[in-house]
Structure 1
Amino acid sequence: MKKIILFADTGIDDAIALIYAVKNPEVDLIGVVSGYGNIDREKAYRNIEYLLELAGRTDLPVIAGVTRPLSGEDPVFFPDIHGSEGLGPIDPPIPEERYANRTNFSKLFRLIKENPKEVTIVNVGRCTSLAIAHYLSPEVMEDVKETYLMGGAFHVPGNATEVAEANFFGDPIAADFITQNVKNLTIIPLNVTRDAILTPEEVNFIDSRADSALEELIKPILDFYYEVYQQLEPGIEGTPQHDLAALMAALEIEGLFQYRRREVSVEDAGEYTSGESVADFRPGTRNCFGPGCSRIALRINEEVFVSNVLEILTNHR
C-alpha cells in the first residue's frame, strides 16, 4: 500500500482519479492539495471536500494550494471542458466562498514529516503548488519518496497549444523547476494519457454496479466529458483519463507503462512554444541516470488500464 498525497485542480478527470484513490485498497491517501487550473482554487477545494464527504472520508486533510501561476498572471480556466463548477453537470451544494484565504502549507509539511521517505506525491494539475512547496521548505520536500507528474507531451501535439500540454502551459515556470530539480520524478505525459480511454460502454458497466452516491457521480460527469470530447475530437471512442493514468502509474501496476529516462526542460519564454516539454529522443540517445533525470512514460497498455479501472471502480469498498 502506498501513502499518497494528491495535488489536484478538481475537474472531471481529477475527480475520477480521486474516486479511484479512495476505492483502491492499494492506495493509502493521506491528503489532497487543491489548486487552480481547470477551475479556481476555491472550487477545486470545494469539489474535493464534496467528493470526500460522499466517500465517507471526511477524515482526510484537504490543503489549499495556490491561486495563480508563478508569473503572477491571471490563470485561464476551462468551464467549456469541465463545466462551470468543475464537475460537469454536478453543482455541489457547498459555497466555494467557504474556502477562501485558506492556504496552509504547514499541514502539507506535517504530513510529510510524519511519514519520512514514505510519501508519494501525485501531481495532476498545474505544478505551481508543488513548486511553491519546494521553494518554501526544500528540507522537508527532500523527505518525499517519489513524485509523479501528469504533464507534458512528447512526440505528439499539445492540447492547450500546438505544442504544449495544459498543465505545463498553465505554469511553465513551475513545470520547468519541477522537471529539473525534483528527484525520483516520473512524468506521465499526454502521449500516453490520451490513450487511457474509457468508452461509454465501459462507463455504463461501471454505472450498472454503482451502489453509492459517490459511484453514481461517475456516469453523469463522464457523459458530460464525452460530449465535450466529441466536439474536440469528433469520433473519439471515449474519454481520456489523463489524471487517473498518472495516479495508477504511482502504483507500479505490472505492464501498464513503458518508460524511458531523459533530462526534461519546459519552455517558459517562447512566443509560440511556451509550455512545450523538451527531451532528447534523437536516434542514438540513451537513458540518463542521476539527479535531473526523469522517467517518462512513452507507451501505455490500454487493456491493462481498462481492466484495472473496471475492477477498482466496481468494487464496493
Structure 2
Amino acid sequence: MKKIILFADTGIDDAIAVIYALKNPEVELKAVVAGYGNTDRDRSARNAEYLLELAGQESIPVIAGSTRPLSGEQPEYFPEIHGEEGLGPITPPIPAERFMNRTNFSQLFRIIKENQNELTIVNVGRCTSLAMAWFLSPSVMELVKETYIMGGSFLEPGNVTEVAEANFFGDPIAANFIGQNAPNLTIIPLNVTRKALITPRVVDFIDSVATTPLQQIIKPILDFYYEAYQELEPGIAGTPQHDMAAVMASLGIPELFSYTSKQVKVEYKEGYAEGLSIADFRPGVPECTGAGCVRIATEMDEGIFFVDVLRNLIRND
C-alpha cells in the first residue's frame, strides 16, 4: 500500500483526485495539505475536509498550506471553472473561516518523521506549500521517499498562457525550486494529463451505480466542470483529470505512463515566458542521469487509465 500526502488546491479536479485516493485500496492517505490555487486557501482546506467527512475519514488531517505565491503577489482564482466555492455547484456546510490562521507545518513534519522513507508526496496544486516545507525543514523533507507533481507542459501549449500551465504559472519561483532541488521527483505534465479524459457518458455510468455520499457528488461537480471546459475548448470530449492522473502515476500502474529523464527549469522572471517549463528534448540529447534529474511523463495509455478509473470510482466497499 502506498502512503501518500496530497498537496492540493481543492477545486474540482483536485476533488476527484482526493476521491480516487480515498476509494483506491492501494492508497493510504496520510494527510491533505490544502493551499490557494483554484480557490483561496481557506476554501481549499474546507473543501478537502468536506470530502473526508463524506468518506467517513475525518481522522485524516487537513493541513492548511500557503495563501499566496512566494513572490507575495495576490493570486488569481478561477470561479468560472471551479465555481465560487471551488466545488462547482456545491457549497459545503462547513465555514471556510474555520481554517484561518491554521497553517501547521509541524503536523506535516511529524507525519513525515513517523513514516520515514515510506511517504510519497503528490503535489497537484501550486508548488508553494511544498517549497515552503523544504525551506522550513530540508532535513525532514529529505525523509520523503519520492515526490510526484502535476504541472508544467513540455513541447505543447500551456493552459493559462501560450507557454505556461496553471500550477507552474501560479508560482514559478516555487516550481523552479522544486524542479531543481526535490530528489526522486517525477513530473506529470499537462501535455500528458490532457489525455486523461472522463466523458459525460462515463460520469453518468458512475452516478448510476453510486451508493455513497462521496460518489454522489462526482456527477454534479464534473457536469459543472464539463460545461466550463466547453467554453474553454468547444467540442472537447470530456474533462481532463490532471490531478487524478498524477495520483495514478504515483502508484506505478504498469504501462500507464512512459517516461524520460531530464533536467528541468521553470522560467520565473516576469515576462511573456513566465511559468514556462523547460527541458532539453532535442534529438540526440541523452537522458539525464544522476543528481538533479527529473523523471517526466511523456505518454499515457488511455485504455489503462479508463479501466483504472472505473475500477476505483465505482468501488462500493
TM range (shorter): over 0.9
Task: Name 1:90's counterpart in structure 2.
Answer: 90
Let me know the Cα RMSD of the aligned residues: 0.5
Q: TM-score by structure 1 length?
A: 0.99
Q: What SS does the corresponding residue of 1:273 show, helix, strand or coil?
A: coil
Measure, in 1, the Cα distance between the counterparts of 2:174 and 2:290.
Answer: 21
Task: Name 1:208's counterpart in structure 2.
Answer: 208
Measure, in 2, the Cα distance between the counterparts of 1:35 and 1:172.
Answer: 15
Measure, in 2, the Cα distance between the counterparts of 1:184 and 1:234.
Answer: 38
Pairwise CA distance, 1:289? 1.3
Q: What SS does the corresponding residue of 2:67 show, helix, strand or coil?
A: coil
Whether 1:283 and 2:269 are equivalent positions in the alignment is no
Pairwise CA distance, 1:155? 1.2
Gap regions ≥5 residues in structure 1: none
Pairwise CA distance, 1:132? 0.3
Whether 1:151 and 2:151 are equivalent positions in the alignment is yes
Q: Could you tell me which amino acid in structure 1 is paired with residue 36 of structure 2?
A: Y
Task: Name 2:64's counterpart in structure 1.
Answer: 64
How many percent of aligned residue pairs carry the same amino acid?
A: 68
Task: Name 2:244's counterpart in structure 1.
Answer: 244
Task: Name 2:175's counterpart in structure 1.
Answer: 175
Whether 1:219 and 2:219 are equivalent positions in the alignment is yes
Measure, in 2, the Cα distance between the counterparts of 1:26 and 1:277.
Answer: 31
Pairwise CA distance, 1:94? 1.0
Superposed counterparts of 1:41-52, under 5 Å: 41-52=41-52
Pairwise CA distance, 1:127? 0.1
After superposition, what is the alpha-carbon deviation per residue over 1:227-277, rounded to whole angstroms, capped at 9, x for unaligned?
Answer: 011111111000000000001000000111000000000000141000000
Measure, in 1, the Cα distance between the counterparts of 2:219 and 2:30.
Answer: 26
Task: Name 1:122's counterpart in structure 2.
Answer: 122
Measure, in 2, the Cα distance between the counterparts of 1:292 and 1:151.
Answer: 18
After superposition, what is the alpha-carbon deviation per residue over 1:198-246, rounded to whole angstroms, capped at 9, x for unaligned?
Answer: 0111111111110011100000100000001111111100000000000
Measure, in 2, the Cα distance between the counterparts of 1:191 and 1:3.
Answer: 27
Q: What SS does the corresponding residue of 1:258 show, helix, strand or coil?
A: strand
Task: Name 1:254's counterpart in structure 2.
Answer: 254
Aligned residues: 317
Q: What SS does the corresponding residue of 1:156 show, helix, strand or coil?
A: coil
Measure, in 2, the Cα distance between the counterparts of 1:215 and 1:56.
Answer: 12
Task: Name 1:295's counterpart in structure 2.
Answer: 295
Task: Name 1:26's counterpart in structure 2.
Answer: 26
Measure, in 2, the Cα distance between the counterparts of 1:226 and 1:183.
Answer: 36
After superposition, what is the alpha-carbon deviation per residue over 1:180-199, rounded to whole angstroms, capped at 9, x for unaligned?
Answer: 00000000000011010001
- Spell out structure 1 runs of 4+ moving beyond 6 A: none
